[in-house]
Structure 1
Amino acid sequence: MTKRRIFDSIITRLVIMVVCLVCLGTVIRYYALGSFLRQELSTVVQEQQQAMAGYVARDIDDKITQRQTLLAQLATDLPQAMLVQPAALQDWLRQHYRYQSLFPGGLFVTDPHGRVIADYPTAPGRQNHSYAERDYIQSAAKGSRYIGKPVIGFALRTPILPMAIPLFDSNRRVSAILVGITPLSSPGFLDLLQKTQIGHGKGGFLLVSPRDNMYIATSQKKMALAPLPPRGNNPLHDRAMAGYRGSGITTNANGEEEVAAMVTVPSTNWFVVAQLPASEAFATVGHAQLFAIKGAIIATILFALLATVCMYFVLLPLFQAAEDAERMAHGDMPLLPLSIRRRDEVGHLIAAFNRLLGKLHEQQGQLERLAHHDTLTGLPNRRLLADRLKLALAQSRRHGTHLALLFMDLDGFKRINDSLGHDAGDEALCMVTARLQAIVRESDTLARIGGDEFVLLMSHLDAQAAEMARTVADKCIAAMQPPLLIGGAKFKVGISIGIALDRTDSTADSLMQEADQAMYLAKYNGGDCLRHN
């Protein structure tokens, strides 16, 4: 089977059509499934992010609150008299520092102007150093406890979170400021936020200070104390800075899509961000889509193979019928009805073809009859007579028999045509034919070769061929004696007969010429008689 035939095959076209439909359905399912799963997962992931951000925010809030409470208690317990006794104050700080672990960066006391009076543990350069420019000092100097902006500590040289609380004298004036320092990297402080990652490395937590416009701490240490990106880079972040707390899908400053949730840390007005790249959050969608595509490809291949095999067997009778029809067209086999193997649509098609073939046979038979028979009388014409004469000559020589040829022409026929017309003449010819057919044998051939000329071929004759031919000729003459009744009138029609017998050197043409000449001799002698060659 050639490639062209394969591509032109109805099976190939049907399989391609079905595969295209399956592929179209797969594409639709691919996007529909992706959209559905993404929508469902989006809700679930956002809720998960919200829950994790809330848990981290509560943890941070608890730790900040503990430090604020401890610092307030220390401020209450600190004797006012020690503010003028630096050595005693430092000893008091040392004693109280041992019993708490919430300020591993140390404690120090400043005067109302921010100059350090005493600290513990003693840090190089901190004694008598002025922190007047620090926001927490400025706020505490006005009488308010304050959580300062996270900075790189002057003494510790590491990121720290300072907390300050004012000490009041008997006149409710700020007499000193107590400061507690917590390094952001202190164990047990921001560990949950800094050491926890979400997903496979790019997701995590951010601790954001809207007041200070900075990241306090993140799961990625390089971002700690970094300024926030400009507005407009991350729509959800901009909403969070404006006070929105919740979750959503956004595009971060790096242009990457992510799922984020924001929860406030109540004690500081900071907020925690739990973020996860959308590529990881919705990885299941991609996996499901990939699984669907792989399944669809495998199913399509299996379906195409199965459909091809099934359709091949269904259409096999049609293929076989087409092969047989093609062989008939090339003449390799006779025109016969095709076999009907199944009574389905293919069987109905083959049956219709067989009916068409039958009509073609019928029409072909009619054409052959028209080509070899006289249309008026139904007798063989000159062409068929010639074929049968040649065949009879060959058989007579093979079997040692003889044949005779009787050439007959009607006498008085022209008068019927002239007086009554051609229709009457045709009727007369049919009557003559009927009378002659009643005389001849079944093995003989009676032919009409022209107007009113008839030829009788007598084959398979023995040595008495001449006598048998004369006997039949006499019968023909006798048969024409009764007049013909045409249109209410009687017409006498005679017949002139010329007889030719075969010889060893006879041919079909020579016999026809001899019989024709003998007929003209009969005509010349008055007609209604016979003559031999």
Structure 2
Amino acid sequence: MFSLMTKLFFAGVFISVVPLFIYQYISFEQSSKTLQLTYAKELKHKTELTTLLINQAISHRSSDLNIIAGGVGELLSLKNYKTIEKQFNNLALNKNDVNSLTLLDKEARVLIASDKSRKNISSEVRNILTTYKSSAINEVYLSELVTNNDEAYIYMIKKMIDYDYFLVIEINIKNIDLLLSNFDDEVNGDKAIYIIDKNNNIIISSDKTKKIMASFTDIDKLNSQNELDDRIFHFKDFENEDVIASYDEISKFGFSEALGWKIIASIPISVINKDVSKSLAINKKVSILIVIITFLILTLLSRNIVKSIQKVVDVANKISSGDYSARVEDKNTTTEFNTLLIALNSMADKIQNRTNKLEEQKLLLENLAHYDTLTQIPNRVLFKDRIEQAIAKAKRHKNKFALFYIDLDEFKHINDSFGHDMGDEILKVIVLRINTVLRKEDTFARLGGDEFTIILEELQDINSITVIADKIIDTIKKPIDINGNVFKVSTSIGISIYPKDATDKSNLIKYSDIAMYKAKSMGKDNYQFYSEDMSNYSYNRIKMKQSLDFALENNEFEVYYQPQINAKTNELSGMEALIRWNHPEDGYIAPLDFLPLAEEIGMIIEIDQWVMKTAMKQMLIWNEQGYNPVILSLNLSIKHLQHENFVSMLKSNLEETGCKPEWIELEVTESHIMSNYEESIAKLKEINKLGIRISMDDFGTGYSSLSHLKLLPIDKLKIDKSFVNDIPEDEEDVAIIKAIIALCKSLDLTVLAEGVETDKQSGFLVENGCSYIQGYLYGKPQSNKDFERNFLKS
């Protein structure tokens, strides 16, 4: 194999020498034709450029004339003749091609002139003026060429209609600067340029031997038979010499066709042939010199390039082996090679930067993959890894650990009412609080939403688990203030123990989850350890969920009615509609057992609608049977109230059932109203406008303030059963009930106590101003037939 240096040398010889010999041979044949065509194109360019410049010069003077005409009109009206004369002089002085500017009256008498010596106009101008007058055209008029000895002129005339005057510019063709500048480089040269008029007389020539108005007799030979290219011809000139020429014609100016000029440029073919001979002789000498220089340069370049390339190869090998710090350092002055070095070093920099970024991104992705983006605690992925580690560690050291499954109670209501941004802020606060009660070795993870897990390792006894569980519940339920909004959050915790409950990850998680749902069913805000009967509870819960899907369809729900009594008169004042589920296999299921589940799976609105329609229809039936209508209380879930079409659905139910709005009272719990106060108050006001009463259920268990309460469109407060249970013995409950009764009196609200089961309770309530009672003392919830028999007929 040949080395790179040898290849470069022979390649250089071939590239330089062989083409030179071929070039000499081809040049000998083609140079003459090529040079002729080159000169011809140059001539064509000259004629086109000259034509353009003449057209521009005439157009500029036309514009000058129009501008002056406008200004003169105003000055004439002011009789400011001195200013007009000054303008004429300025134009004549500043424009080399303008001989004079004259203002004539209709009799062709000179009124004002830039040339003060001019008192009269020539006969030629007078004739031109006469022609212009007869044309009846008000545009700028361009005259034919007028000659006087060796001078040639054209005239531009503009009529001033308002005064019947005429502006005349006299232009000396020889003094048009643009044309002369175009000819300067051709004077005394071999090329010649002529401007001829429409009669083939020379107007301007770069050949000073040609007089103005000399006849250009060979113009007729510019025909298609002698045409070499577009407007390029081969013919004999004045001296009968073969020349190549090009011509162009001055375009029509406005309406005038007076010019008819042609621009002709020519060069003798003999001059072209001399140039070809000279260039061929020089080329031979230059070719030999080029070959010698090429050999020397190639030798030096090949050595330099090979040396530099080797450096590049060395650095590329280092980069490919992982050494991204390697860089090429070379003093090669070749631009292309320096570009290569810059590109290679830049590539190495980018690779190194990209590698560093990839490392950073890898760490970031690992963080994103293993940590929750909102709370920055371990996520589900890392939790599963940690619990596997905890199992392996406990198994190895024969230890035990606890797994907490934490779920925030009814947290979805906060998200639905205040938005997820507010919910996220609450979650951050809760995570910070829980972290304060945990040890560094404990794993605290967020599985998603409002579900969390904690792995408590190296436990000494069960007591330590309960202590931590109590601390977590206590710290979470402290009021949380976010931008002036105060929230009280409760939590349910399920706990499974390794290895007591399970020895594998899946069952430990499942059992703690089951225990958590058990804690929720027992009133929330508590914790439960897993036990085997909880699996039965979990199974029953799943079974109940499946049964709920068919309960409405199979007409398994029933509406029961509990009486509300005026204890002073012992008369029926109202009733509360309560749902019961008559399961075909399990019998009657208590509302507390299935309504939370219905709300969780999204069936609560459908169930609320069914209860509402059924109870309204029954009210209409009782009314048609002649029973005096009393108030029907219907419980309203927060999801139903917050539904965007709730008011429309309520109106539709009233229309469909025929029930009157004044028969209906809707019960909303205090906590539901306060969870989204502004939206709730707007909805309740709409309902109140329909004539439906509003009752606040479970009053005293939430966090409503007096300022909020007085703005609510409510008619009744219901004292929660939890305050009634221990009266009149419990002094705190007594004080609370008295305060609620006093509050209702001051706000002109009806007050009703629910959960009343003894005469003592009833007596105390009536004595202190609460005469409306609901509870087992007066009647349990019962079917429509039993209620009709026991309370309506009697």
Instruction: Give the alignment's TM-score, normalised by structure 2.
Output: 0.28
| Higher RCO, Cα 8 Å, sep 6+ | 1
Instruction: Give the alignment's TM-score, normalised by structure 1.
Output: 0.41
